[in-house]
Amino acid sequence: MLLPFVEWMEASAMGTAIRESTWAFAFIESIHLLALSVIGGAVLVVDLRLLNLGLKKHSVAELARDAWKWQNVALVVLIFTGIGLFSSEALKCYYSTPFWVKMTTLVSAIFFSWVVRRRVIFAADGAVSPTARRTVALLSVTLWFVVAAAGRWIGFSG
């Protein structure tokens, strides 16, 4: 059921243009990696604060309000550039374990960020235990790290 869509994506005008261009894939991947870096920075600054490891003059909620905008804009850029990258080598991705690890973890990281982490970072002071805050921070960093690592792994597979 998914394979015909993947074949269509790879054969699409966008997929063909990116694949056949000398520079398009590298340019799009550069933007993709910049967006991932912005997400990583936005996540780290808040999660390190949740771990009580930095920026102690600012509340978690204060940092999160500033970082949340950057994280979400970068996520949109990440998704759109990812679609371009995927379309240029959709069949390779379809048969790639690292691709599916990345996609599964990406969906998990987005869900975790929007549902669990957001609730913790914007909770009133004292409403969430220090242990829960640390657990959320460590899970958040781990999920986004796996997204990034699996993305690199795609480039070295098949």
105 Cβ contact list (under 8 Å, min separation 6): 143, 146, 147, 150
* Cα 8 to Cα 36: distance, rounded to the nearest angstrom: 27
Tokens in use for 3?
């394979």
Amino acid at 60: V
Q: Which segments of 51-129 does DSSP mark as H helices, in order?
A: 60-88, 90-94, 97-111, 118-121
DSSP 8-state class, residue 54: S
Cβ atoms 46, 121 nearer than 8 A: yes
Domain count of the fold of the chain: 1
Tokens in use for 59?
């509340």
Residue 27 has pLDDT above 70, yes or no: yes
For the CA atoms of the chain, what is the radius of gyration? Answer: 18
Please choose, from the candidates 74, 59, 55, 52, the residue with its C-alpha nearest in 3D space to the C-alpha of residue 133.
52
* Cα 114 to Cα 70: distance, rounded to the nearest angstrom: 14
Cβ atoms 75, 29 nearer than 8 A: no
Q: How many CB atoms lie within 10 A of CB 17?
A: 13
Amino acid at 119: R
* Cα 31 to Cα 17: distance, rounded to the nearest angstrom: 17
pLDDT (tens digit, 9 = 90+) per residue, 48-107?
999 999 888 888 899 999 999 999 999 999 999 999 999 999 999 999 999 999 999 999
Amino acid at 12: S
pLDDT (tens digit, 9 = 90+) per residue, 108-132?
999 999 999 999 999 887 889 999 9
- In terms of residue numbers, what domain contains 71? 2-156
Residue 158 has pLDDT above 80, yes or no: no
